[in-house]
Amino acid sequence: MSEKILITGNEALAEAAIRAGLEAYFGYPITPQNEITEYMARRMPEEGRVFVQSESELAAINMVFGGAATGKRVMTSSSSPGISLMQEGISYLSGAELPAVVVNIMRGGPGLGNIAPSQSDYFQATRGGGHGDYRTIVLAPSTVQEMADLMFPAFDLADLYRIVVMVLGDGVLGQMMEPVLLEKKQTHRKLPAKDWALTGCAGRSQNIVKSLDLVVPRLEKRNLMLQEKYRRIEENEVMCEGHLLEDAEIVLVAYGIASRVVRTVVSRARKEQIKAGWIRPVTLWPFPSRQIAAAAERARLFLTVELSYGQMFDDVRIAVAGKAPVHFTGRAGGAIPTVEAVLDEVKKLMQPGKVAVER
């Protein structure tokens, strides 16, 4: 069990979900995440668990709602256009406070777009995505190993907070292969009993799972309770890494696949005597605002790098709060910023005497 195997990110994520105790998977095919559905189709029946290939994304997310309401560990996976179709269901899950894991292996948009990698669904993922005042916890892996490892906290956080947890990857992370050690990574979280679940009410009072509430003060109270929960999550669940920040004059901020481009850029910049460092948010919501604010006390400027035209960029600016200029570079529509292009941008920004103007 301690031997590394070479598998795709999609397969690593799927196997880890099964090891994390997934009891029912519902999904509808879409590239570049089909390997997840394919893997689940084979492995879930082997484990005596539920696999359903639904007739649509809308059906899949509502099956997730039903499965979650019974207290089972459930998930679905899709890619950008399919995740857009699921937004109504994600809002309902959030309103009913049901735990579920939703995986988005992002592709080029807008619209049907293409099947190449992208990070253009950041706004949708971190702002709720559907209607109403709600949040989903968003986890952003950057390696195939992490595609597997983050599935354990994903299910635990969902159960702990009765919330939707989104795992936000991209086409490269889904399709690429890297050596992976598949282990059961315990989070050692003490999880509450699911005494709200619909398990048959013989011998106890009836449980009701719903998001509809026509009485204004009651729905307001429910919203305030959700807000209080979101503040607790922001307080306790931020995950982030950083490197070379002690003396960094320029801090590059990137997540997922873009963060790996940035690591190479920073090590090359250091070889050219440019004091660069990097921050990688692992949770996109809650966002590591404090860690970025702390770096802003020392750094001269920030550069956000994304496979989009500047979405996380907004959160970095909010966190930096005017203490330093925040710049952006990125590509989308399936294109990926190259190490060379980002390094050129760093050099341009770090030219002596250069007056930094945002963007």
Partner 1 sequence: MTEKNCREEIIFAGFGGQGVILLGKLMATAAMKAGYEVTYIPSYGAEVRGGTANCSVIIDNEPIASPLVTEPDTLIVMNQASFDKFVPKIKPRGLLVMNTSLIETPPDRDDIEVMGVAADEIAHQLKSPRSANMIALGVYLKKRGLLTPQQVAESLPYVLAKRHHDMLDVNTRALMHGG
* Strands of 124-213, DSSP E: 137-139, 164-170, 177-180
59: amino acid identity, one letter:
A
31 binds partner 1 (CB under 8 A): yes
Pairing of strands 177-180, 5-8: antiparallel
**Measured from the CB of residue 237, what is the shortest distance to partner 1 in angstroms?**
26
45: amino acid identity, one letter:
P
DSSP string, 185-205: ------PPP-TTS-S--TTSP
What Rg do the C-alpha atoms of the chain give, in angstroms? Answer: 21
Total binding residues toward partner 1, as defined by CB under 8 A: 22
267 binds partner 1 (CB under 8 A): yes
Region of 46-54, 129-137, 169-177, 307-315 interacting with partner 1 (CB under 8 A):
169-177
DSSP state of 277: E
50 binds partner 1 (CB under 8 A): no
* Residues near 190 by beta carbon (within 8 Å), at least 6 away in sequence: none
176 binds partner 1 (CB under 8 A): yes
115 binds partner 1 (CB under 8 A): yes
Other CB atoms within 10 Å distance of the CB of residue 46 = 9
Region of 92-100, 124-132, 253-261, 283-291 interacting with partner 1 (CB under 8 A):
253-261
- For residue 338, give Cα distances in angstroms to 262, 317, 345: 9, 23, 11
264 binds partner 1 (CB under 8 A): yes
**Measured from the CB of residue 108, what is the shortest distance to partner 1 in angstroms?**
11
Q: Which residues in 130-159 contact partner 1 (CB under 8 A)?
A: none
**β-strand partners of 105:** 169
| Residue with the two structure tokens 């086409």 | 171
Region of 119-127, 184-192, 256-264, 305-313 interacting with partner 1 (CB under 8 A):
256-264
Q: Which of 175, 304, 308, 311 binds partner 1 (CB under 8 A)?
A: 175
CA–CA gap between residue 252 and residue 57 (Å, rounded): 36
Q: Which residues in 317-336 contact partner 1 (CB under 8 A)?
A: 336
53 binds partner 1 (CB under 8 A): no
DSSP state of 354: P
178 binds partner 1 (CB under 8 A): yes
261 binds partner 1 (CB under 8 A): yes
For partner 1, the closer of residues 29 and 325 by Cβ is: 29
311 binds partner 1 (CB under 8 A): no
CA–CA gap between residue 344 and residue 356 (Å, rounded): 15
For partner 1, the closer of residues 60 and 116 by Cβ is: 116
**Measured from the CB of residue 66, what is the shortest distance to partner 1 in angstroms?**
32
Q: Which of 44, 172, 251, 282 binds partner 1 (CB under 8 A)?
A: 172
127 binds partner 1 (CB under 8 A): no
156: nearest Cα among 81, 100, 214, 207: 100
For partner 1, the closer of residues 58 and 339 by Cβ is: 339
| Residue with the two structure tokens 């890494």 | 241
CA–CA gap between residue 229 and residue 161 (Å, rounded): 7
Q: Which of 85, 293, 339, 356 binds partner 1 (CB under 8 A)?
A: 339
281: nearest Cα among 247, 258, 300: 258
Binding mask 62-101 for partner 1 (x = CB under 8 A): ----------------------------------------
Q: Which of 177, 201, 208, 335 binds partner 1 (CB under 8 A)?
A: 177
